[in-house]
Amino acid sequence: MEILPQTRLMELLEAHPELEEAIQRMAPPFRNLRNPVLRRTVGRVATLAKVAQVGGMDPTEFVNALRGMLGQPKLGAPADEAAPRPDGGTPDWAAGEPQFVVHATELLARGEVPLAEVTRLARELEEGRHLLVRSEFEPVPLAEALGKAGYRVQSVRKANNRIGFLTFVAKGGRC
């Protein structure tokens, strides 16, 4: 199996279970893969590029590190992976107090799946209101799933805060 940025995490772990510990070490938010529910849900949808992003690593460096562990040659940096992630302030459409706040890191620590809770609350959002997800990592799979479901989603890095990312969710399409 050739390891590429678009390789699904579960496919990699099924083919090379010996890489699980290294992945968890390089991308600490994925330590939660020990939870069987999270392993089935996140592992099935997350690509290695997204695992790297959530772990705060460059996707090409992450993939190359894994490739090196298996004796595969390094990849070059694709142009689309080198693009910066959008960071900034609160989006205009998320002004005011959120209708709901979800602490994703706390849910994961209890063995719960944040996507299920966030999706449930997103369905209950009133028009013009938003949901705020606080996490120590960028919740890329969560944001992608909500975006595909038609929600407006934007994650913002908060450098001087124990909660590293704020993810805003509202009804009404992507940002």
Give, in degrees to the nearest 5, the angle at Cα 60 between 108 and 24.
30
Judge whether 26 lies within some domain. Answer: yes
Q: Is 87 a domain residue?
A: no
In a 13 Å sphere around the CA of 41, the CA atoms on its Cβ side amount to: 15
CATH number for the domain including 127?
3.40.50.150
By residue range, what is the domain housing residue 123? 92-171
Which of 44, 64, 82 lies at the terminal end of a domain, its last residue?
82
pLDDT in tens, 118-163: 999 999 999 889 999 988 877 888 888 898 889 999 888 775 555 5
pTM: 0.57
Q: Do 78 and 146 sit in the same domain of this protein?
A: no
Last residue of a domain, one of 55, 82, 109: 82
Question: Structurally, how many domains does the chain consist of?
Answer: 2
Q: Is the per-residue pLDDT at 95 higher than 80?
A: yes
Which pair of tokens denotes residue 95?
């002004």
